[in-house]
Structure 1
Amino acid sequence: MPYHYDPADNLHGTYMVKTAAIYRMIGHTDFAQQVDEFIRSLCIGLWHSQPITEDQVLAINNIYSKNQKRPTYLYWELVTAASKYTGLKIPDFFRVLVITKRAAEALLVLFRYLLVKLSDPNLSVPSETEFISETTKTLEGIINSEDPLGFSELAVSSPAKKTEQRPEAPADKKEAPKEEQKEEAKPKENLDDLLKELDSLVGLAQIKKDVRSLINLIKVRKLREENGLAVPPLSLHMVFTGNPGTGKTTVARLLSRIYHSIGILSEGTLLEVDRSGLVAGYVGQTALKTKEAVEKAKGGILFVDEAYSLAPEGTGNDFGQEAISIILKSMEDMRNELVVIVAGYPEPMHRFISSNPGLESRFGKYFHFEDYNSAELMQIYKAMCEKNQYQNDEECLKFAEELFKDMYENRDENFGNARDVRNIFERAVANHSNRIAKLECPTREDLMTFRKEDIIGCKEDEAKAE
């Protein structure tokens, strides 16, 4: 009998309590994201030899520590991850924690508890039992090792050993000096292709107009520069405001590629962080963590999601202020190598920017992302179906239109826009799979077609899962 997800088990609550106890033991939460990612990779390893079910998707999306982002695996994403699983990889943080053996042992207990919890309750699946046993044995081996960090694997030359000198080659046969190996520059994408990609996004009419206007501004500025004309100062740092699921990260990623295409950024990459990626739990560590993030983003865009969490109201001495100071300094020192975009809900973002004169002076461009209307939600749903080779019968399409109309008209502060559509699509895939699995000889048409019964109740299922 495969694992069955039961909301009454409160998997997320139990996981939060257990990880919080371990972080208190360590004294900080610097490894929280890595712990969550490692545990989710263990779950994928546990399930990789068997068919993935909707219960496993629900389970893995509930494994995240306090203040960490909730994962958003879709059914086929988990299937793909399981199919690509290549074996256990021990992360560096676990080897470091072995130095404080008690914390590593507590983590091992948590790992084993979760693996047993998320496996067949009767332990009748040999691949799961073997995975749990082998994983436990490997991690115990590292905990009990005299060299958990693997220093013995490094080749260390003895200083006493003399190096045998090669005779100098004859003058006519001397080796030519080796040319310095330079990293190949990332090829630039065609601007017209990138703009077509922007135009293909559902909705976002004003954002598309603003992006084109910004590109024109940059182009003309470069032309004036080439013709020896004065160019006024230009800040490319931006504030993105809008509710979740409105396309902020997607547009930011596209902007990084556009800036690279027109020669503004050398790499055209995007590094997405939130408070947990910048702020540490004790003095001095926040500076190191933030500088590391800035350095990684160099040549591209640093995208800070829910940036207002760096300056929570009523906490003047919060470590987030240190992160803000370093980001502001980097924006000045690396003005030709870094673009910073801060993003989040509209009201908190306006409060955040106005709370610091340095922020107000450096962020002059605001892009507001409106909620998708019902027609746009339907467009997003159809695009997901088409991309994944699904189709809807007529009755299903009519029901979906009504569903998205109701979602939009009755939206509240928890409305997730495209994220809600994705969740509904994911549950429709699971319902469709359960229905098709009962057919003796399903046709290609059966395998591709959603019916009303597949999508009905999806919104209620989502609410229950939350």
Structure 2
Amino acid sequence: MTPEQLHNAYTAQVSPFLAALPDPGLRTLFRQQGDPFFRRCALALWQAGGSPLTPAHGGWYNTLYTGPKPKETLFWDMVSQGEEALPLPPFLPRLLAYDRTTGRQTARAFLDLLAGLLPLLAGADGGHVPPRAAAAQAYWDGLFTQWQQAGLPGNPAPTPLDFPAPAPGAPPASPDPTPAPGQDEPAPPQPAPKQAEAADPQPTLEELLAQLDALVGLEGVKAEVHSLVNLMKVRRLRETAGLPTPPLSLHLVFVGNPGTGKTTVARLIGQLYRAIGILSQGQLVEVDRSGLVAGYVGQTALKTQEVLQSALGGVLFLDEAYALAPASPTDYGREAIEVLLKGMEDHRKDLVVIAAGYPDPMEDFLHSNPGLASRFPKTLVFADYTPPQLLAIFQGLCRKNGYTLPPETEAAAAARFQALYDGRDAHFGNARTARNTFEDAVARQADRVAALEAPSREDLMALLPQDLAGA
């Protein structure tokens, strides 16, 4: 379907559900988390069975919104999210808790909404859907079981997911972009995974630590996170053994320039703490000053409280946290900080707050309120990526997206990253610089290959030094 058709079909299902939510707080929460959640679902479904993402998926991805049109996400930023497992709905526990208190059926209504959206998202690109259907059905069955166990009112019968048959002549949903030696055509799709294998989309502690260790660079940060995980594991063991555990603040400060992986590591910490049992859900809620501070008296506290509620059970990531430091006694950022401090104390057993930003301004933030520094006992420093690390990120993007780098292109890329690193300033983008370089190179390669009369497979995949010239 076209992006416009997907947008219309998506809003036709989500908007009525949103409008029918009886509680204003639930509506606010769903407006904040609904579209990002369904986008993550779409990314996971499109990659089910090993299918690669294409630029066309970026068009569909950017149509998944119900409110004002958000800023478009570039294809390479979409790819870098790497969603390969269907995410848990971060707002489902709130819906379940609301239904327990009121006797309403908001959680079941959400499951019915999800039953309609999963097939829609899975079939947006018109490809064959068996692996997607199996993964989505097992995922939905797991959520339905969770709802059943809550003993809430509502139709006890599960809603079957209605996946349409693939369009005649549609390409397989799981093409292999790199055929095995001796093959002229992409490999056929892999058999659909068993439902039992897809029932639990949550990665294990070992898998999450492997994801952390696979990140390029950040050696000091990785060591600190491993140490934090070990500390949490031992605390849990001491609690199980009936031994005392001294009070410990879980909140962190991340300092570093843009593009150094702060958000990625924050997301992993939430999932790691969930895997250990420190956090109940492990979701990441990102926010900056604009998401907390309102324009008139009394509303900042309500706005900040809603964000805190949405982050319970997971990690609240305060980007550019120093922007909250009051520039004057009447600045509303002061009110947001006070509400955050109270929330951190009230929910210290099921909330982690990570404040992030540039090193020097973060010092000002921590000293803007007497209670802040003591709440953030540990600081993780994210250093700029070195030229070899930038090259490794660039090479990883090429591999993931089916591009090859001849030796002369690798040498040209290495020289380019060295020059960018040597001339860096406060606006240096680090990993974003590597992604932008890749994106520009792909665009120039497309212009070059389009001029060829009959480009070969090698032509379509190879990035040449001239493709980097204007990156």
Residue 264 (structure 1) aligns with: 278
**1:124 equivalent in structure 2:** none
Q: Residue in 1 aligned with 2:58?
A: 81
SS of the residue 1:240 aligns to: strand
1:382 corresponds to which residue? Answer: 395
- Verify: 1:180 aligned to 2:180, yes or no: no
**Cα distance in 2 for residues equivalent to 1:369 and 1:316:** 32
Aligned to 1:360: 373
Tell me, what secondary structure is at the counterpart of 1:207? helix
Aligned to 1:329: 342
Report the secondary structure of 1:391's partner residue: coil
- Which structure's CA Rg is the greater one? 1
Deviation of residue 394 (structure 1)? 2.0
Q: What TM-score results when the alignment is normalised by the length of structure 1?
A: 0.61
Given candidates 217, 232, 254, the residue that maps to 2:246 is: 232
1:372 paired residue number = 385
Preserved CA contact (<8 Å) 1:241 1:345: yes
2:279 matched to 1:274? no
Tell me whether 1:218 sits opposite 2:195 in the alignment: no
Q: CA deviation at 1:188?
A: 4.5
Say if 2:414 is the partner of 1:401: yes
Q: Does 1:437 align with 2:450?
A: yes
Question: 1:242 deviation in Å?
Answer: 0.3
Distance 1:192 1:84, change over 3 A: closer
CA distance in 1, matches of 2:245, 2:319: 31
Inter-partner Cα distance in structure 2 for 1:297 and 1:218: 20
Per-residue CA distance 1:199-226 (angstroms, 9 max, x = gap): 0000011111101111111111122222
Unaligned runs of 5+ in 2: 1-27, 36-52, 71-148, 155-198
The Cα shift of 1:355 comes to: 2.1
Change in Cα spacing, 1:238 to 1:77, as seen in structure 2 (3 Å) is farther
Contact 1:303 1:343 in 2 (8 A): yes
In structure 2, distance between residues paired with 1:364 and 1:182: 45
1:416 is matched with 429
* SS of structure 2 residue aligned to 1:392: coil
State whether residues 440 and 470 of structure 2, in contact with CA within 8 Å, keep that contact through their aligned partners in structure 1. no
Instruction: Name the counterpart of 2:207.
Output: 193
Partner deviation per Cα, 1:91-145 (whole Å, 9 max, x = no partner): 3x79xxxxxxxxxxxxxxxx9xxxxxxxxxxxxxxxxxxxxxxxxxxxxxxxxxx
Return the offset for 1:316: 2.3
Note closer, same or farther for the CA distance 1:83–1:405 as it changes in structure 2 (3 Å cut): same
TM norm structure 2: 0.60
Instruction: Give per-residue Cα distances to partners, 1:58-91, cap 9 Å, x unaligned.
Output: xxxxxxxxxxxxxxxxxx886323245779x763
Do the aligned partners of 2:255 and 2:382 also contact (CA within 8 Å) in 1?
A: yes
Instruction: Name the SS for the 1:230 alignment partner.
Output: coil
For residues 390 and 318 of structure 1, the distance between their equivalents in structure 2, rounded to whole angstroms, comes to 50
Instruction: Give the partner amino acid of 1:318.
Output: D
The residue correspondences of 1:152-167 to structure 2 (distance < 5 A) are none
> Per the alignment, do residues 371 and 81 of structure 1 end up closer, same or farther by CA in structure 2, a change over 3 Å counting?
same
Q: Structure 1 residues 82, 262: closer, same or farther in 2, change over 3 A? A: same
The structure 1 residue matched to 2:267, chosen from 253, 265, 270, is 253
Cα distance in 2 for partners of 1:258, 1:365 equals 17
Amino acid at match of 1:451: L
Structure 2 partner of 1:18: none
Is the contact made by 1:188 and 1:260 (CA closer than 8 Å) also made in structure 2?
Answer: no
Offset at residue 400 of structure 1 (A): 0.5
Query: Shift in Å at residue 231 of structure 1?
Result: 1.1
Partner of 1:153: none
Aligned length: 303
Partner of 1:301: 315
Would the alpha carbon gap of residues 414 and 371 (structure 1) be closer, same or farther in structure 2, given more than 3 Å must change? Answer: same
State the 1:395 CA deviation.
1.7
Q: Which amino acid aligns with 1:247?
A: G
CA contact (8 A) 1:256 1:301 kept: yes
Paired with 1:77 and 1:344, the residues of 2 have a C-alpha distance of 32
Structure 1 pair 427/277, CA: closer, same or farther in 2 (3 Å)?
same
**SS of residue matched to 2:317:** strand
Cα gap change, 1:331 to 1:254, in 2 (>3 Å): same
Contact 1:186 1:267 in 2 (8 A): no
Q: Match for 1:79: what amino acid?
A: A
Q: Name the amino acid aligned to 1:234.
A: L
Structure 1 residue runs without a partner (length 5+): 1-30, 39-75, 95-110, 112-177, 459-466
> What are the Cα deviations for residues 264-310 of structure 1, in whole angstroms up to 9, with x where unaligned?
11111000011111111111121111111111111100000000001
Task: For 1:231 and 1:223, locate their aligned partners in 2 and report how far apart those are by CA, in whole Å.
Answer: 10
Equivalent-residue separation in structure 2 for 1:78 and 1:305 (angstroms) = 28
SS of 2:247's partner is coil
Partner Cα separation in structure 1 for residue 371 and residue 202 of structure 2: 33
